[in-house]
Chain A
Amino acid sequence: MHEVDMTKCLLLSLQEWKQQHQPQVPSVEVVHLQVGDFTCVEPDALVFTWGALVNGTWLAGSELRIERTPLLARCFPCGASYSPSQGQAYRSPCCDHPMEEILSGRELRIRSIEYSLPEQGNSPPAADSVVAEQSQTRELVAGARP
């Protein structure tokens, strides 16, 4: 089930976001993804592994919400858009042309993150605890790699 590796990679990508843009550890409520139908990802499996992998990390308790985007292609000769019937036929019904341009369906995107920061006046978490939490996450994310 490669969704485990996909989720680990997603966690690493979010870790990069945190390190680059968040001096304090944000409390993440929802991570919004866009996942196209023409990808190798099964959204339900992604949500399942998310629940298991964020446990005990800075993302614990957060929710993964996935918006699916349909496979949509554009017929090259006539310019009409069409929805190929996946697994069966990809030619355009209008001109019988092969699937040249894909308009949507290849998305694997972190669309947005809903989060909150500790209120001003609250003492920010001690540097030690931030570092500890980061290294813990990193270990979890990278740990299963041979």
Chain B
Amino acid sequence: MHMPLEDTLGLNLLAANQHQADHNREHFDAWQLLCLNLMSSPGAGKTSLLERSLAQLSNEFAMAVLEGDMTTQLDAERLEAVGVPVVPITTGRACHLDAAMVGGGLKLLRQRLDPASLDLLWVENVGNLVCPAEFEVGEHKKVALLSVTEGDDKPLKYPVMFREADCVLITKIDLLPYLPVEVERIEDHIHQVNPRCSVIRLSASSGVGLDSWHAWLRETHAAQCPSPVLTTAKPQPSHPTLVNA
């Protein structure tokens, strides 16, 4: 004879992940850095964009990358070549990064440098338009990339990703002359599911639109980490303080 009980919880199914994500974000806030979660389908151009942005912004921001990849470290090697510290997180068969994996990446990062010396921490998620949308890692902002070669229906087919994004980058726009795609339709579809996000057209290879993207970054960083010159003593222009390189 057992006594039947029922507990009403109203807990998030992903509560365990959320707790770890909140924990990560507390660290980011204490270090006064901006953390961005970069998400897209495979091949939309996350790594190419990072190569350009890291190179162009390295005199302005001290940056590091947590690089999610399913099996290889190829992307991490590409980004290391730019001269920015990169911690590869190999997810194995997992198709997204979760907060615990990013927590593990942070531990490795701290062995290499003092995160408080950073202004910007990039998390490059595993290429996938579905799963990363539901797994928060502690980021301040979500950035979704959509390349014009993927077709204009993707925001309608994978709406959760585009709904969750704070900024959507339409990439590879230098290819538009060769494709039966109207970029206005892509923008309209993004707007339908998420009227509040910023939408920026760019091409990492031609460089078109990078100014607008970097302006969004500066603005977002300034809002997240107000007046670094006045309130903190971070070196400017800053480079990460290496602990034991």
Where the two chains meet, the residues of A that have a C-beta atom closer than 8 Å to any C-beta of B are 2, 5-6, 9-10, 12-13, 15-17, 21, 26-27, 29, 33, 35, 38-41, 86-91, 98-100, 102, 108-119, 145-146
Contacts and interface: CB of A to CB of B under 8 A. Distances in A.
B92 interface: yes
* Chain A interface main SS type: mixed
A39 B92 contact: no
15 contacts: A5-B96, A6-B134, A9-B13, A12-B17, A13-B14, A16-B16, A88-B156, A90-B156, A100-B195, A102-B163, A109-B12, A110-B13, A112-B9, A119-B2, A145-B100
Interface in B14-35: 14-17, 19
A146 B90 contact: yes
* Chain B interface main SS type: mixed
Given A9-B17, A9-B98, A38-B159, A110 B12 contact: yes
B1 interface: yes
B183 to A, nearest CB: 18
Contacts of A6: 13-14, 134
Interface residues of B, number: 43
Interface in B135-179: 135, 156-157, 159-160, 163
Interface string B175-198: 000000000000000011111100
A87 B16 contact: no
Most chain B CB within 10 A, of A5, A40, A112, A145, is at A40
B225 to A, nearest CB: 29
Interface of B: 1-17, 19, 90-92, 94-96, 98, 100-101, 130-131, 133-135, 156-157, 159-160, 163, 191-196
B13 A114 contact: no
A100 B196 CA distance: 8
Contact of A112 (B6, B12, B14, B90): B6
A109 B10 contact: yes
A115 B5 contact: yes
A89 B193 CA distance: 8
Contacts of B133: 40
A108 B13 contact: yes
B221 to A, nearest CB: 27
Nearest to B153: A87
A91 B159 CA distance: 13
Nearest to B8: A112
B192 A98 contact: yes
B10 A98 contact: no
